Amino acid sequence: MARARKSPRRQKLEALVLAPINWLEERSGLVGAVKYFLFRRVAPESNWFHTLGSATLTAFLVQLVTGVILAMYYKPAPDEAYASIQKITNELTLGWLVRGMHRWGASVFIILLFLHMGRVFLFGAYKYPRELNWLIGVILLTLALAEGLTGYLLPWDQTAYWATVVAININANAPIVGPFLGDFLRGGAEIGEDTLARFYSLHMLVIPGGLISLITLHVYLVIRLGVTEPPWTRGAGGYDFVEDGRGPARRGLVAPRPRGNGSMGSPTRTEVER
């Protein structure tokens, strides 16, 4: 024991803090899992652009929490919906703030999704072995847009009503499936209370369920496959490495440093020195 001894009081305190954590770790391994998640190795030149994914996730969590709370006050019926939104916005304490976070947060979520997608595209992070995660991301984008569509009707004001009439009719213009899709979304031939109820159900139960499942899968694959290096990284020479040693993956669109074959030209031989 070269280090200075800790005071008995401090040792007691540490044991007190560590005991429940160790108890949990011994029975579940969760502490180790969280540590692995938080302190895993990432590409050395990863930068702020790599935070767009977590930013999108944060925006989604904000939508999740504010949406659950809004559901405690909102009434999904055509003769009550508008009044309940007015009450949330103008009467209930802090209602304006939570509804505002949900409303503007929806736009933030979509904007971050596109920025995150742009980062993944420009860094070439959709390439082998991460193609599956790109595909999951595309489905997530579609689901997020569907959240926007179904949430837009819920305030049941003039904008909401007529925008949804138009949006459903756009869906009804899809070739072959259109007439079926339109009536399915309306819950019948005409827009009415069934439309509002089913949009509410889709908006707060069906689509979030899909989003949560796929986001879980998305993040799992990010942890498993690791983060791509930015295209301007030197050293790895066009490749980066998947953390579990399964092999190299191609880097971004841009090759910053042109590479020859490493052998000076010679008139007397054709082979390349290795």
Partner 1 sequence: MADELERPGGEPVEHEAEPHLPAPTIWPFAFAAGITLLLIGLIVNWLLAAIGGAVAVIFGFLWIRDATREVRRPVAEPEPAEPVSEVVAEEEEEAEEEPERYPRSVFLELSTLGIGAAIGGLVTLPAIGFMVAPAFVDQGYDDVDLGPLTNFPANQWVTATFVSAADEPPDVGRRTTFVRNNGLANGVPSITIISNRCVHMGCPTQPGGLLQRPQEVNTESGAVRLIVTQGLSGFTCPCHGGAYDTEGNRTAGPPVRALDRYQYSIRNGNLILGKPYSVSHVTGEGAEAEVHAYKLADPGQHVDGPEQVFYPPKFWIP
Closest separation between CB of residue 200 and partner 1, Å? 14
Q: Does 155 bind partner 1 (CB under 8 A)?
A: no
Q: What is the C-alpha to C-alpha distance for residues 215 and 10, in angstroms, rounded to an integer?
A: 42
Residue 29 or 209: which CB sits closer to partner 1? 209
Q: Does 210 bind partner 1 (CB under 8 A)?
A: no
Q: Does 250 bind partner 1 (CB under 8 A)?
A: yes
- The DSSP secondary structure of 33-89, one letter per residue, reads HHHHHHS----TT--GGGGHHHHHHHHHHHHHHHHHHHTTT---STTTHHHHHHHHH
Considering only 108, 172, 214, 217, the residue that binds partner 1 (CB under 8 A) is 172
One-letter identity of residue 40: R
Strand partners, 249: 240
Residue 78 or 148: which CB sits closer to partner 1? 78
Q: Does 122 bind partner 1 (CB under 8 A)?
A: no
Q: b/e string for 10-34 if b means 16 or more Cβ within 10 A?
A: eeeeeeeeeeeeeeebeeeeeeeee
Q: Which stretch binds partner 1 (CB under 8 A): 93-101, 111-119, 136-144, 237-245?
A: 237-245
Contact predicate 208/147, CB 8 Å: yes
Contact predicate 174/146, CB 8 Å: no
Q: Which stretch binds partner 1 (CB under 8 A): 33-41, 56-64, 100-108, 241-249?
A: 241-249
| Contacting positions for partner 1 (CB under 8 A) | 77-79, 127-129, 162, 165-166, 168-170, 172-173, 175-176, 178-180, 182-184, 186-190, 192-194, 235-239, 241, 246-250, 259, 262, 274
